[in-house]
Amino acid sequence: MVDSFLGKKYKLGSSENFDEFMKSLGVSLVTRKLGNAVSPVVDLQKEGDEYVLSSISTFKNVILRFKPGVEFEQETPDGRKVLATFTVNGNTLHEVQKNPDGRETVIDRTFSNDEIKMVMNVGDITATRIYKLQG
């Protein structure tokens, strides 16, 4: 269960195909450069039945508050408004974002003691980002 990993901090260690992923979503060159340059620190907290997923970086701080299965409006780091739903599947946080253009972005974050493996899909593009436990 993801709850075993509450309060742990993970920092981006590697990133594959993220530029292609952002391009596919129409993210501008300037924002892509910033997005590629930063190594955010991520942590998951829980307040009552609500999860709080924070991603902190010099480019943007993104704090997402959600209840599993409940759709909410989210602003992505590049400023798009999407409707997002998170579900918890064992050690994986499964997120589906509905984009204004009708496409879906699917993000799986699988937690373990030493890392979070983040796999992101839109259309036929997949990006993988590995966050390492901060020691």
Binding site for ligand ACD (CB under 6 A): 22, 25, 27, 31, 35, 38, 40, 55, 57, 59-60, 62, 76-78, 118, 120, 129
Q: How far is the CB of 60 from ligand ACD (least distance, A)?
A: 5
Q: Which is nearer to ligand ACD, 79 or 90 (CB)?
A: 79
Q: How far is the CB of 59 from ligand ACD (least distance, A)?
A: 5
Per-residue CA distances from 116 to 20, 28, 133 (Å): 21, 27, 8
Both tokens assigned to 12: 């981006």
Helix then strand count (H, E) for the chain reads 2, 10
d(CA 133, CA 112): 9
The answer to whether 96 touches 109, Cβ cutoff 8 Å, is no
- Per-residue CA distances from 94 to 29, 97, 120 (Å): 28, 10, 10
When the beta carbons of 2 and 27 are compared against ligand ACD, the nearer one is: 27
Nearest CB to ligand ACD, comparing residues 76 and 91:
76
Which residue's CB is nearer to ligand ACD, number 48 or number 118?
A: 118
User: Which tokens go with 8?
Assistant: 């742990």
- Shortest spacing between CB 88 and ligand ACD, in angstroms: 18
**Least separation in angstroms between CB 87 and ligand ACD:** 17
